[in-house]
Structure 1
């Protein structure tokens, strides 16, 4: 589905993402995790075609991303940012309708097929009772579902989500991620999302990519990636990782080690002991 090979992304003469490579199969969910400023959102934007990459190759279904026309790319993938704004008077149905525009020529109007797809997207995201409400009147979780409905109306094969749970309370975070998982399972939709919560990434992902200082640190399944050493090296946090039968690992953060230092070999504790709980 997606192949990223030795990609470099540069801002202001500085490489923000360096030599990043990974592959993702159709129907998988990938979460990109890492500290703030590590290049997660930058990588997501490059995969979407929103920003250029300096070197390397990104292939979407075997085709170089740079060779795919923007409108064709919009039919194949959709990216949703952390925060999305709409006019105060725009209704749910009106916003979802925008998802059909990549499939229309400039002179074509919305037809019955489009209307059916719009209604399907609204129903799929459990928004039928809200279709005539203004988006601005909805809660954070409801609003996120509207944007996902718009993405569904686009009928993309690849859905990109940049921190979809930001600004949401715990219940709405759960609601949005459960919806993403449901769409992935029922429609075989491939999903890449940037997440900060390690337990959410572990629970909802088939694969996890760990980025630190713009470089790939680990890539694999939750069980392969979510280790105490990874959390200590990347996040400078002491943690316990619990494995429960067939479930993905559960992470329990214990402390922030103030004695961690870095050298050419990696991260180490200069005091050579486990810190007490905070």
Structure 2
């Protein structure tokens, strides 16, 4: 579905991402992990074409993104940044309605079908009771859900999330990631997200790509990726990896700095 082939990205003549390749299949949840400054968010922005790359290709359903218009990409893919901010007086309904504009002509008003999709997206993210409230008045988890509702109203094939749990407390992190898993399970929506927490990446992902120094260190299932060797080599930490009989996913316990 999404094929990233040998892309490289430069800032001021410095290569940030080097010869990076991986593929995401339809309906997968893929998490991007790695140390701070390794290039995780840069990679995600390149995949969404928010950032240009000087070599390589990104293809969606076999079509090179560079040959697609911004509107065509927005109809298939939506990216939410680390921190999103709406005007103080913008309501949840108004925010979510913006998700319909990639499907409208210039100055075309919302139709009955658009309103149905907006109300569906609000209900799907469990925000019906907050429909007419300003986004600025919501809690962190509620606000993040409102932005995800806007993305849902866009009806994308792929949802890209750049550190969706940043700035949220533990309960709201769980709330947002459970919503992502619900959307993936019920709608088959393909999800790519940058995460810092290794256990969250392990639990919520079908596959995990590890970025180290702008290069792909490893890409595979949580079982293949979440090993003591990977954590020592990439994060310079000693760890224990256990398997929960309920979750059937690796559970990482960090111990101390590797010497």
- Matched residue SS, 1:21: strand
- Structure-2 separation of matches of 1:256 and 1:174: 27
Corresponding residue of 1:95: 95
Aligned residue number for residue 144 of structure 2: 144
| Displacement after TM superposition at 1:45 (Å) | 0.3
* Counterpart-to-counterpart distance in 2, 1:244 and 1:24: 26
Name the structure 2 match of 1:275.
none
Residue 55 of structure 1 corresponds to: 55
**1:173 is matched with which residue?**
173
- Give the whole-Å Cα distance in 1 for the aligned partners of 2:139 and 2:89: 15
Residue 84 of structure 1: SS of its match in structure 2?
coil
Query: For residues 43-192 of structure 1, what are the structure 2 equivalents within 5 Å?
Result: 43-192=43-192
Of 238-247 and 93-102, the range deviating more from structure 2: 238-247
Distance 2:219 2:85 in 1: 33
> What does the per-residue CA deviation read over 1:31-82, in whole Å, with 9 as the maximum and x for residues that have no partner?
0000000000000000001011110111111100101111010000000000
Partner residue in 1 for 2:256: 255
- Mapped partners of 2:184, 2:239: distance in 1: 30
Shift in Å, 1:243: 1.7
Displacement of 1:238 after TM fit? 0.6
Matched residue SS, 1:15: strand
Helix, strand or coil for the counterpart of 1:211? strand
1:126 partner SS: coil
Q: TM-score, normalised by structure 1?
A: 0.92
SS in 2 for 1:240: strand
Count of aligned residue pairs for this structure pair: 258
CA distance in 1, matches of 2:98, 2:18: 35
* Per-residue deviation, 1:256: 1.5
Alpha-carbon separation, structure 2, partners of 1:83 and 1:128? 23
Superposed CA RMSD in Å reads 0.7
Instruction: State the match for 2:201 in structure 1.
Output: 201
Unaligned runs of 5+ residues in structure 2 are none
In the TM superposition, residue 84 of structure 1 has moved relative to its aligned partner by 0.6
Q: CA deviation at 1:210?
A: 0.2
Structure 1 residue 107 displacement after superposition: 2.6
The 1-side partners of 2:237 and 2:101 are apart by: 46
**Counterpart of 2:210 in 1: which secondary structure?**
strand
Structure 1 runs, 4 residues or longer, greater than 6 Å off = none
- Displacement of 1:195 after TM fit? 0.1
Larger radius of gyration: 1
Report the Cα offset of residue 203 of structure 1.
0.2
Task: Report deviation, 1:244.
Answer: 2.7
Please state whether the residue corresponding to 1:133 is helix, strand or coil.
coil
SS at match of 1:255: strand
